[in-house]
A and B are shown apart, each in its own frame.
Chain A
Amino acid sequence: MGASHSGPDTRELRELSEKTGFSVDQIENLNRRFQQLSKNKETLRREDFDKVTDLDVNPIRAQIIEAFFDKRNYSGMQTGPVEEINFEQFLTVMSHFRPLKARMTEEQIASLRKEKLQFLFNMYDIDADGKISLEDYRHLVEDLLSRNPHLGKESASVTSIADAAMLEAVTIIKGQMEPHQVYEGMTFEDFVKIWEGIDIETKMHVRFLNVETPHFCK
């Protein structure tokens, strides 16, 4: 696995660790994975994700890959897609999936939760207009059902499910609405409201291992 690229040195590692919240071991592990995917180049492009064959059966594959290349998921305030990402950006995106640490204050937990919800929001909001509209919801449901070969009448079911879901969500958010008012789309605050009862911070995590995992070269 060509070790020609030395990767970030210890000082950079520590910086990254502080910024993203991973431990140094985890960062090294992820770095190895990054090298593997990018064929030891500095940056990762969309095509490199083709190597992860497991993703092929994932119905939301495109959106997951897009999430890596979406500027909204980096620490800045920019929006829009990028063509290639470096390791730091890769790590930043991954850091959204950190589990809760043992001792976290209430505020830390709240901010972690907000971070994760923002990531989710960005994934739902495909057209990046800051709102999740009915169209976005329909795309979402369509994707989720897209892996099913059977659906001949999919459009009807998709639209009905998406509409019901949106209706329900809006009911939670707004409560009462006059018939002539139009609801443009969910903003981030509304989105947070829907997730109120659910502890996303415990659900949305991936176990990042400290020890080296056997990589399957795909």
Chain B
Amino acid sequence: MWLGNLPRSSSRRGTYLFLLVFLLGTVLPLGVASSPDSHGTDAPQDTKHEASNGHGHHGNESHTAVKKAFPVLNFEYESVRLPFEIALWILLASLMKLGFHLIPRLSSFVPESCLLIVVGLLVGGLIKIVGEKSPVLHSQIFFLYLLPPIILDAGYFLPIRPFSENIGTILVFAVIGTLWNSFFIGGLLYGVCQIGGKDLEKIGLLPNLLFGAIISAVDPVAVLAVFEEIHINELLHILVFGESLLNDAVTVVLYHLFEEYAGVGSVTFLDVPLGFICFFVVALGGVFVGLAYGLLAAFTSRFTTHTRVIEPLFAFLYSYMAYLSAEVFHLSGIMALIACGVVMRPYIEANISHKSHTTIKYFLKMWSSVSETLIFIFLGVSTVAGPHSWNWTFVICTLVFCLVARVLGVVGLTYIINKFRIVKLTTKDQFIIAYGGLRGAIAFSLGYLLPPDHFPMRDMFLTAIITVIFFTVFVQGMTIQPLVDLLAVKKKQETKRSINEEIHSQFLDHLLTGIEDVCGHYGHHHWKDKLNRFNKKYIKKCLIAGDRSKEPQLIAFYHKMEMKQAIELVETGGIAKIPSAVSTVSMQNIQPKQKVTERALPQLSKGKEEEIRKILRTNLQKTRQRLRSYNRHTLVADPYEDAWNQMLIRRQKVKQMEKRMNNYLTVPANHPDSPTMSRARLSSDPNAYIPKPKAGIPAITVDPASPQSPESLNLVDELSKRTEEEEEEGIVMKMHTPSTDEVFTSNNAEKEQRLMRCLSDPGPHPEGEEEEPFLP
């Protein structure tokens, strides 16, 4: 960054200047671009001009118009106007985001959402000053294009365990909480309207209830934006977030119910039970639609082994279709999207390549980030632009009632919920839950959707909605971080999922299920276990390709972890970031005492071992160079000798890497090509040279693109298969035993092989060189 080189004060000034200039620079064309009117007059002239010239170019004879000189440079804006504008807006949004993080301390105490709204206000203001008509956040754009990526991102990466453990609480808050909020706010506002000034008297009960329904829903976008930055503990995060997602069903039903009947003017008693039924239909229907599409996506991904490139597309398309299909029937699109993401994730992840997985992850993050930014900016712009009708009473009362309703709702519901919960919610928790009930763009869009003819007070509603949104996002959003610190709420624990945890949690699950069975009652663990077994037996077989379907969870997890660690180490270069607390615990420390069995090998003392090791190491350095030309494998690699130097450099890194590797990973000596690994190899380089397995020779492929360790792990250790000693000596902790052994294969010194085996425990010294023929 050029900014980094400047001294501090000038860099800050530079940043501000940059931002200002940029703002002006983009806003003006944006403003000009956004308004169709200014170009309306120019366009016909231009097109006529174009037409005349175009024709003039082709055939002079057919056109008797004035012949101008052939225009070397043309200006034709109309045809690219729409994509141009969209791209410019997105660019603006992204550059804004970039700018915030350059400003040193701003992002730490102001949440991004606030900053973006401010930017939106500025942009809107500038557009107004320039005199153009500013774009408004059309509800269609919002609901069809901006909202789905955010929800899909949330649903795909939803942490299942905490979500399902707290599902009861979440549902209670989402459904009953939102209902309570809507009726409380709506009812009280009606009362206020009655006693308020004469403007307000005209607003009937139903519009008020509708307004209450719109304003009471906690918004997932705002919650995500704010809670992401405060790193609160998992339980609270999932409670507020889950609530914001699941209350969509309630909002949809109430909105349609009241909107429908607000026109008519009254609600009969028949409509109330119909409303209930509608709620279940909407919620469960949405989930069902999502489920169906999710299973379809999982099934499709089973067959994508040959077309890896479009795998992510299936994930996105099926989810989007789920959302749209749900919207067609006025079912809850959000719940459909969540259900789809949750259902398809485990199966898709088992089927697709590693790169596709990364692609999906990053595309989702990217889209949702862009959407979020755009939403907040547009909110700001719409605030400046939109028609407003300010009414002190109404707005202030709305604000107050929102807060009061939220607090009362949370406290009341928690009191009831705590009777059924094992982990009770403390007062601190309740406060955070209540405080985290942010409103956002969904409320605004729903308000915007109201048809003005049925709702003459729409402008006032919009003003009130915007005020509440601003209040919650700015005041609550900015103060929640200091409050969390002040109240010393438990923060998120940055624990990496370790293999130990996985083993223990599986064990615990089985244990608790077993105890429940002994007790004789079908509790929550029992059903979870039944679902897992059903999943394993039937569903996985259909939806997961090949051998992966039978892979037990523990092993899959282990592979995933190995892969992750390997990639991590390669990425950090191995050398630079060896942590100070690097553990020198290695396999030999934990080996159980060996039973004394007959070994063909003499017992070596430690000193001799060291000597032998040193000798071998120096020899190997020489032999590698010698063997390079006549080892069976390197014969093929000869044409690539130039790349050998690259290899040497990388070997340096690898040497450092294995030091750390040896502490974390073990190489199962008999480990065959597990489907995961082979797929990872295949997919990462379709042109990888796959050697035919020759008898007695380890198969080696080197894919320079992917980290070395997984391949090394793949190498079938032919030698170890042959020797029975394998059991006695425990696990060979080396990464590249096969390579070194392969060197010795050509010499076929049995003794040396055995020596290598007994020296395989890595001491503090790096192990012998690896021989890695460079194959494309």
- Measured CB to CB, the residues of A under 8 A from B are 30, 33, 36-37, 49, 52, 54-55, 57-61, 64, 68, 94, 97, 99-100, 102, 120, 123, 133-135, 140-141, 144-145, 147-151, 153, 155-157, 159-161, 163-171, 174-183, 194-195, 197-198, 202-209, 213, 215-216
Contact = CB atoms under 8 A, between A and B. Distances in A.
Interface string B485-526: 000000001010011110110111011111111111101111
Contacts, number: 187
The 9 closest A-B pairs by CB, nearest first: A156-B668, A150-B550, A54-B517, A160-B668, A64-B514, A156-B670, A171-B583, A213-B521, A177-B585
Nearest to A186: B590
A33 B533 contact: no
A52 B518 CA distance: 6
B671 interface: yes
Contact of A171 (B515, B523, B585, B666): B585
B656 to A, nearest CB: 18
23 contacts: A57-B533, A58-B513, A58-B514, A59-B510, A60-B510, A134-B592, A140-B507, A144-B503, A144-B507, A144-B554, A155-B670, A156-B670, A159-B731, A160-B671, A164-B499, A165-B500, A176-B585, A179-B588, A181-B589, A195-B504, A202-B423, A204-B508, A206-B523
Contacts of A134: 590-592
B328 interface: no
Given A100-B422, A177-B585, 11 more contacts: A33-B518, A55-B517, A58-B514, A159-B731, A164-B558, A166-B590, A167-B587, A167-B664, A182-B588, A182-B589, A183-B590
A30 B234 CA distance: 35
Contact of A164 (B515, B547, B664, B761): B664
Given A153-B671, A156-B671, A55 B518 contact: yes
Contacts of B665: 164
A159 B526 CA distance: 29
Interface of B: 422-424, 493, 495, 498-501, 503-504, 506-508, 510-521, 523-526, 533, 547, 550-552, 554-555, 558, 581, 583-593, 606, 663-672, 731, 761, 763-764
A153 B551 CA distance: 12
Contacts of B516: 206
Contacts of B664: 164, 167-168
Contacts of A174: 583, 585
Nearest to B493: A197
A129 to B, nearest CB: 12
A208 B519 contact: yes
Given A55-B518, A145-B554, A159-B731, A171 B587 contact: no
A157 B670 CA distance: 9
Contact of B503 (A68, A140, A176, A213): A140
Contacts of B586: 167, 177, 179
Contact of B515 (A97, A150, A159, A202): A97
A129 B495 CA distance: 31
B662 to A, nearest CB: 10
Given A99-B422, A153-B672, A204-B512, A161 B526 contact: no
B508 A161 contact: no
A61 B507 CA distance: 11
Contact of A179 (B520, B521, B764): B764
Contacts of A141: 503, 554
A53 to B, nearest CB: 8
Of residues B498, B520, B523, which shows the largest number of chain A Cβ atoms within 10 Å of its Cβ?
B520
A164 B763 CA distance: 18
Contacts of A179: 584, 586, 588-589, 761, 763-764
Contacts of A213: 520-521
Nearest to B518: A52
Which of A30, A33, A148, A160 counts the most chain B CB atoms within 10 A? A160
Residue from A58, A145, A167, A177 whose CB has the most chain B CB atoms within 10 Å: A167
Contacts of B517: 52, 54-55, 58
Contacts of A145: 552, 554-555
A170 B523 contact: no
B584 A176 contact: yes
B474 to A, nearest CB: 35
Contacts of B508: 120, 203-204
Contacts of A97: 512, 515
Contacts of B424: 102
A157 B498 contact: no
A110 B427 CA distance: 22
A18 to B, nearest CB: 21
Given A169-B500, A179-B763, A60 B514 contact: yes
Contacts of B555: 145, 157, 161
Contacts of B503: 140-141, 144, 161, 165
Contact of A160 (B523, B589, B731): B731
B716 to A, nearest CB: 11
Contacts of B498: 165, 168
Contact of A163 (B525, B551, B731): B731
With most chain B CB atoms within 10 A of its CB, the pick from A30, A55, A183, A206 is A206
B583 to A, nearest CB: 4
B587 A163 contact: yes
B506 A144 contact: yes
A64 B558 contact: no
Contacts of A207: 422, 523-524
A55 B554 contact: no
Nearest to B418: A102
A135 B592 contact: yes
Given A148-B550, A169-B500, A160 B507 contact: no
Contacts of A155: 670
A164 B586 CA distance: 10
A148 B504 CA distance: 18
B583 A160 contact: no
B520 A151 contact: no
A54 B514 CA distance: 8
Pick the most buried of B519, B584, B763: most chain A CB atoms within 10 A of its CB: B519
B479 to A, nearest CB: 29
Contacts of A203: 508
A111 to B, nearest CB: 18
A206 B671 contact: no
Nearest to B562: A164
Contacts of A99: 422
Nearest to B592: A134
B33 to A, nearest CB: 54
B526 A54 contact: yes
Contact of B514 (A55, A153, A171, A215): A55
Given A55-B517, A64-B511, A183 B589 contact: yes
Nearest to A148: B552
Nearest to A33: B520
A119 to B, nearest CB: 9
Contact of B520 (A61, A64, A140, A216): A216
B520 A167 contact: no
Given A197-B495, A215-B520, A175 B581 contact: yes
A164 to B, nearest CB: 5
Nearest to A151: B552
B767 to A, nearest CB: 13
Nearest to B505: A203
Nearest to B503: A165
Contacts of B506: 144
A57 B526 CA distance: 12
Nearest to A150: B550
Nearest to A218: B520
Contacts of B510: 58-60, 64, 144
Contacts of B592: 133-135
